[in-house]
Amino acid sequence: MSNELSVQKINDASGNLERVVLHGPKNSSAEIYLYGATVTAWKSGNKERLFVSKSAKLDGTKAVRGGIPLVFPQFGPGALPQHGFARTRVWKFLSSNIHGEGVSASFELSDNEETRASLWPHKFILIYKVDITADTMSTIMKFENTDEAEFEFTSLMHTYLRVPDVAEAKVHGLQGCVYADKVKGVRAVEEREEVTVVANEDRVYENVPGVVDVGYGGERVAVRRFNFKDIVLWNPWAEKAAEMSDFGDDEYSEMLCVEVGTVASTISLKPGQTILCGQLLTVEKISQ
Q: 58 vs 12, 63, 74, 75, 201, CA distance in Å?
A: 11, 8, 22, 22, 26
What is d(CA 86, CA 112) in angstroms, rounded to the nearest whole number? 12
State the catalytic residue, choosing from 158, 190, 201, 251: 158
DSSP alpha helix (H) spans, the chain: 113-116, 237-242
Starting at the edge strand found earlier in the chain, the sheet holding 17-23 runs 6-11, 17-23, 29-33, 38-44, 47-48
Q: Does residue 114 sit in helix, strand or coil?
A: helix
Q: Is 254 a catalytic residue?
A: no
- Residue 166 and residue 187 in contact, taking contact as beta carbons nearer than 8 Å: no
Residue 259 among the catalytic residues: yes
User: Considering only CA atoms, which of 128, 40, 118 is closest in space to residue 85?
Assistant: 118
Q: Could you tell me how many residues make up the chain? A: 288
Nearest to 87 by CA among 157, 10, 17: 157
Burial, 55: exposed, middle or buried (Cβ in 10 Å; 0-12, 13-18, 19+)? middle
User: Which residues carry out catalysis?
Assistant: 158, 259
